[in-house]
Amino acid sequence: MHKERLDMLSEIMKLENCCVDLNLYLDTHPTDQNALMQYNTYACQIRVLKDQYECMYGPLSNFGSAQSQYPFKWIENPWPWEIEY
């Protein structure tokens, strides 16, 4: 698989993990403005990377969360969870 594709997926996963951790922290510390700013920064970075990835390689998820080019890209392999690192 193309190294750039794997690098993008890896970066998306890292940023998503940061958001999960910050989300859990913010559940118990909702007034921590620094944590909220970090969360929003990472969320924005994720959206940009996912948009770039999906434009280049196809959707990361289905059921209306991402548009697809013609022909329908969702059926093309490998699917994101099938990629071996």
Q: Are 25 and 32 in contact (CB under 8 A)?
A: yes
Q: Which pLDDT score is estimated for 17?
A: 94
Q: Which residue, among 18, 74, 24, 81, has the nearest Cα to 46 in the 3D structure? A: 18
**How confident is the model at residue 64, as a pLDDT?**
60
Q: Which helix (H) or strand (E) element contains residue 23? A: helix 3-28
pLDDT one digit per residue (tens) for the chain, 85 residues: 688 988 999 999 999 999 999 999 999 999 999 999 999 999 999 999 999 998 888 878 766 655 655 655 555 666 667 777 6
Residues in the chain: 85
The pTM is what?
A: 0.73
Specify the pLDDT at position 18: 94
